[in-house]
Amino acid sequence: MPVYDYECARCGAFEAVRRIAERDEPAACPQCGAIAARVTIGAPSVGSASPSGADDAGSYGMQHRGGCLCCR
């Protein structure tokens, strides 16, 4: 089962092993028993612009180069 991060207001961060179907449900803090919300972190942006100012980043932020198969 996957491990998810939770944040207790009293004790701080902790991890819990839970089923995927339960991942967004609050979890009990293992130290004090208080109900804690899951911590969600957004994915970083990996795209970038070219020096000319035109955005030549493809999917997944990969830079296209002359001759790559996806640009033909």
Q: What is the pLDDT of residue 53?
A: 47
Q: What is the pLDDT of residue 29?
A: 96
Of all residues in the chain, the percent with pLDDT exceeding 70 is: 57
**Per-chain mean pLDDT for the chain:** 77
Compute CA distances 64 → 6, 14, 19, 53, 57, whole Å: 39, 41, 39, 14, 6
pLDDT tens string 31-48: 999 999 999 876 665 655
**Start-to-end C-alpha separation, the chain:** 43
The region, left, alpha or beta by phi > 0 then psi within -120 to 50, assigned to residue 56 is alpha
Task: Read off the pLDDT of each residue in 56-66 and give the average, rounded to a whole number.
Answer: 53
Q: What is the pLDDT of residue 40?
A: 85
